[in-house]
Structure 1
Amino acid sequence: MKFLKFTLYIFLPLLLLNSCRDYVEVEPVGNNRILKYTSDYRGLANNYTTMSSFGGIQLLASADVEFPTTYQNGVSTIWSNSYTWQQTIYNPSQGDPDWNGLYLCICYSNTIIDGVMSSEGGTDAEKREIYAEAFVHRAFAYLQLVNTYGPQFNPASDNSEKAVPLLLKPELFSSLERSTVAQVYDQIISDLKSALANDIQDTPQFNVVPSKRAAYALLARTYLYMGSYELSLDNAQKALEMQNGLIDLKTFASGNSYPVLIQNPEIIFSKTLLLTYRGAPLSNDLLNSFESNDLRYNYYTIAGTNFFPSYTGRGFAIANYSPTTGINIGVSVPEMYLIAAECYARLGQPQKAVDNLNILRAKRYKAATTYEVSATSNTEALNLALVERQKELIGRGFRWFDQRRLNLDPAFQKTYTRVFKTITYTLEPNSEGYVFPINQNYIDLNPELGK
């Protein structure tokens, strides 16, 4: 048992005093402040900076990214350690902003789940709405955590390997013993089902607010990572029944026409990478996978001279079009079509797989050019789906999660090599390099994290 301020920044009275004072009005109790009214909890839930923007270190390790030689001299030690798959990312004076941000979101969610239903001044419907939303936020955070700091879920095993702590109550003191991969996934699914069971709203005013379609879409992503393709497909279809609009890139005069996240009709639930990761250089293999008539190359990528430090090559473009646009890592309509396509291919229905791919591709290619793909086998359809996934979900860190799960299949296993400052680094399939280490500072202060 350790005091959580050393590791997770979860020390509730100070948290509510300092982090929430701009969002809630609370009554003082002694030297602390407490949440009392339903509007207090709504304010906490609407702290979008905390609830919607975090994570991204895995992007640097993924095959999406490639540091040009001249660029390598200007990157931080954190970036170079992640890029070369080291077992130490941060030095003793540094914290881990990905870990901290995800657990702070969990802290807020736990606070809401624990207290909103007994709050004053709100209707039962208002309380239940906020209550249901918190389960979705918490599930998203744990899905990111277990896929960054835990071993890959393997449907052929009991998944008893240790992953991350499951903190489900807003307690000042709690055991930080790590739960197993299976336990974390069970909690994610339970949280999303709890959101649905509590009548989470269908259509929120803004896409940063959790919804029923977001719960279905996150279940689709979760089951995909677990290799449960029938369940993944079922939930992707449920999400698409509620939201299926796609942006037609042919209608844009330039990248500056691209909608900001909050107005993007493709986004089901908006979550964003930390801005620090948005300038990562994209790999040549990824860039070369775009066909000449694929509009995504010009709208999803931009010259490296637009970033600081600048570089030869291209980076992720969308976050540069507007100061209110980030890199969405939440669930979206394109992702649901891609999940449906992959699941259909894996379930022996290649025509339905390519049908879903072509719905997406029709909105991504130049006018009067060929965009349709076809497949005569499950393998061909699956390969098409995976390539399309890499191009559509470019620069978000999803490639890292895909590399992890695809390593379980000998047909997709691959050894990656990188040369950084003349030294060659290698990442073998299913190696320790696919699990980001928990910051040693946190383990030193809380030894149970290292067990």
Structure 2
Amino acid sequence: MNRIHIKTMQALVAVLFITLLFGCTKYLDVKPDQKMVVPSSLADCEALLDNRSEMNYTYPVIGEVGADHYYLDDVNYNAITQVGEKDVYLWDANANINLNNWRGPYKIIQVAGQILQVLENIDRSENQDDYDRIKGSALFFRAFALMQLADVFTLPYDKDNAENTLGLVLRNDPAVNYVSERSNLKDTYAQIKSDLVESVLLLPIHTTIKTRPTRVAALAVLGRLGLVVGDYALAEQATREALSYTDELIDYNGINESSAMPFFQFNKEVIFHAITTSSPMLNASVAKISSALYDSYESNDLRKVLYFDKNADGSYAFKGKYDGEQNSASFAGIAIDEIYLSLAEALVRNNKLAEGAEVLNKLLLRRWRTGQYTPVTFTESATALGRVIQERRKSLLLRNLTWMDLKRLNRETAFARTLVRHINGARYELNPKDLRYAFLIPLTVVGTTPSIIQNER
């Protein structure tokens, strides 16, 4: 594989990221150094895509901070010094969101757009395979970043109102003088879908470098999109195809239950590796798992011992992160177990109950102690869907998916729930249809870019 010198890559990155708050004209006054290298070749593009600190490690964390799988006690909450993080935890309507939640994904989108522009001036016939892989990767990263942004900065998708609901700034033009305006939600998800569909045709099925996207990863995200927008035919088709390429699961019976970090980075279920930015609220030393959630695991369910450690005060901390790290970030990538759960849900929603049960059983057989799991059978749609949703919640902790699931499931009476926090003697609630499910765009962004409309309160 062709690579360019690290200093050259840093120069390329500098050119693309002189505007850390791009979309805001007041931050576009810095002029680029004319001596800097401008990306012009496939090698340049590949180097930018392989810069994992920018492309894989900067996804929004606020959805995990606002989710209800964990809580902080008064002492630990009061000890946090970042006021914005504390406000997000309590769903404060005016929480000033950390800028990195917006800036990080838009850096990725800027890089992707620049690469796609560079590719327009490169002859594909000179190296078809690399050209297609790089183009597919740029499209994937743009779609993936947009979807992560939509999860936290837009309201839940409703096909009847999506055209009249605020979406994202789509940034298809990488020019620094681009006028940033929000699209509608229908166009936002249409852009994500278009990029993913095209990337599926261009990306390789597999890669040994798990920070690079693949066809399987693109199909998995298409499956997510199908669940979010209620297109369950798309969700089924995409996830079924993804599992046709790779469906191998980790047998949890082979993992050391006493390990402090049971899952290693790039384990065999990980299809695409990515993580969020960090938040002090998610540090395992302070974030305690909801007792109701912990108690929902049965005694022979190995997730109960592999995901959680008992604290000295009798509460539980989460240790089952799929990035193999013990830090204050969340895994934000794609793993095979998520694809199983997405397919199971799509099948049940499409009234294919027997197939849905079969897919769910295949997953759970590798999550329970050998010989202790009783396979489920589904005969009634509502019961089947409830079980699949429950197992999804129990499997996908700290995968940067909980907020997305809360938003989409709140549209359904059977799954809508009010979130509750208790801090310093006060009770805080987040109701299912609350406007706070779309976090405020960071005040720095809207304050300096009048063309970007702030979310309603």
| TM-score in terms of structure 1 length | 0.87
Match of 1:428 in 2: 431
Kindly indicate whether the alpha-carbon contact (under 8 Å) linking 1:64 and 1:394 is maintained by their aligned counterparts in 2: yes
Counterpart mapping for 1:295-334 below 5 A: 295-303=302-310, 312-318=315-321, 321-322=324-325, 327-334=330-337
Q: CA RMSD in A?
A: 2.8
AA at the equivalent of 1:87: A
- 1:195 maps to which residue? 199
Task: Find the aligned partners of 1:173 and 1:70 in 2 and give their Cα distance.
Answer: 47
Match for residue 78 of structure 1 among 79, 84, 109: 84
Deviates more, 1:67-76 or 1:334-343: 67-76
Instruction: Encode CA deviations 1:226-245: one digit per residue, 9 max, x unaligned.
Output: 11111101110000001100
1:48-127 to 2 correspondence within 5 Å?
Answer: 48-53=52-57, 54-75=59-80, 76-90=82-96, 95-119=98-122, 123-127=127-131
Structure 1 residue identity aligned to 2:301: D
- Please, which moves more after superposition, 238-247 or 203-212? 203-212
Q: Name the structure 2 match of 1:283.
A: 290
Gaps of 5+ in 1: 18-28
Are residues 322 and 399 of structure 1, via their aligned partners in 2, closer, same or farther at CA, if it must alter by over 3 Å?
closer
Distance between the aligned counterparts of 2:355 and 2:253, measured in 1?
Answer: 25
Shift of 1:5: 4.5
Question: Where do 1:252-271 residues align within 5 Å?
Answer: 252-254=255-257, 255=259, 258-262=262-266, 264-271=267-274
Distance 1:256 1:177, change over 3 A: same
Whichever residue aligns with residue 293 of structure 2, its letter is: L
Which stretch shows the higher mean deviation, 142-151 or 266-275?
Answer: 266-275
The alpha-carbon distance between structure 1 residues 96 and 450, as it changes in their structure 2 partners (threshold 3 A), is same
Task: Show structure 2 runs of 5+ residues with no match.
Answer: 1-17
Aligned to 1:246: 249
What is the CA distance between 1:304 and its match in structure 2? 5.1
Q: C-alpha displacement at 1:349, in angstroms?
A: 2.2
* One-letter identity of the residue aligned with 1:62: A
| 1:272 counterpart residue number | 275
Q: Distance in 2 between matches of 1:426 and 1:448?
A: 32
The question of whether the paired residues in 2 share the 8 Å contact of 1:150 and 1:162 is answered with: yes
* Residue pair 1:293, 1:365 contacting (<8 A) in 2 also: yes
Structure 2 CA distance for aligned equivalents of residues 379 and 414 of structure 1: 17
Match of 1:148 among 140, 143, 152: 152
CA distance in 2: counterparts of 1:357 and 1:252, whole angstroms: 21
Cα deviation for residue 103 of structure 1 reads 0.6
Which residue is equivalent to 2:340?
337
1:444 is aligned to 447
How much has 1:119 moved relative to structure 2?
4.4
Larger deviation, residues 210-219 vs 264-273: 264-273
TM-score (norm 2): 0.86
Q: SS of the counterpart of 1:261?
A: coil
Give the stretch that moved more between structures: 156-165 or 337-346: 156-165
Larger deviation: 223-232 or 415-424?
Answer: 415-424
Equivalent of 1:385, from 388, 391, 408? 388
Q: Is the 8 A contact 2:20 2:103 kept in 1?
A: no
Distance in 2, Cα, partners of 1:245 & 1:12: 47
| Distance across 1 between alignment mates of 2:111 and 2:374 | 45
- SS in structure 2 at match of 1:201: coil
% same residue: 23
| Cα displacement (A) at 1:175 | 1.5
Letter in 2 for 1:372: P
Alpha-carbon separation, structure 1, partners of 2:199 and 2:453: 32
Q: Which moved more, 1:337-346 or 1:240-249?
A: 337-346
- 2:43 maps to 1:42: no
- Structure 1, residues 107-141: CA drift from partner, whole Å, max 9, x if none? 11111111034248962332221111110011000
Larger deviation, residues 356-365 vs 148-157: 148-157
Taking the aligned partners of 2:325 and 2:405, their CA distance within structure 1 comes to 29
Q: Does 1:418 align with 2:421?
A: yes
Once the two structures are overlaid, the 10-residue window that deviates more, 147-156 or 5-14, is 5-14
In structure 2, the residue corresponding to 1:193 is in which secondary structure?
Answer: helix
**Contact 1:213–1:239 (CA under 8 A) maintained in structure 2:** yes
Structure 2 residue 187 is the aligned partner of structure 1 residue 180: no
Whole-Å separation in 2 of the counterparts to 1:13 and 1:108: 19
